[in-house]
Amino acid sequence: AVIKTDVAVSIPEGYVGLLTSRSGVSSKTYLVIETGKIDAGYHGNLGINIKNDMEHDGITSLYEDLDDKLVNTLDIKGNYINEGEGARKIYKINKGDKLAQLVIVPIWTPELKQVEEFESVSERGAKGFGSSGV
């Protein structure tokens, strides 16, 4: 889900804004804030891309047809608002809750040159995800 912030910013040229999670939200809840990139020149309403990781790990499907009394409702600090009897957790997000933070960093955009092959060889080469170890 995307939560609109009703906030717009003006990122200077040569910089990018990273809308990312706050450590308290990440460490105390199943809420995941997907990092959003805000380019220089974008002046629209910032949206926070958020998901409840508990809703994506199969736990929800176990409780889909069960009574609401099994659902736990929490705030974004991980405090129970309504304690149910089951494992499912949903989060009540209120206007003004601090879900994300904007980090503005310089960005380097080099000129790229197309080549047929690289001048140097690396140990990793074209190996992809997980190839350098975990």
**Closest among 95, 84, 114, 65 to 3, alpha carbons compared:** 95
| Residue at 29: amino acid letter | T
pLDDT at 55: 64
Helix (H, G, I), strand (E, B) or coil at 47: strand
Q: Is 25 exposed, middle or buried (0-12, 13-18, 19+ CB in 10 A)?
A: buried
Q: Is the pLDDT of residue 60 over 60?
A: no
pLDDT at 67: 55
Are 31 and 50 contacting, i.e. CB atoms less than 8 angstroms apart? yes
Q: For residue range 77-98, what is the model confidence (pLDDT) as tens digits?
A: 777 877 776 667 777 888 888 8
Q: What is the pTM of this model?
A: 0.67
Domains with residue ranges and CATH for the chain: 2-106 (2.70.40.10)
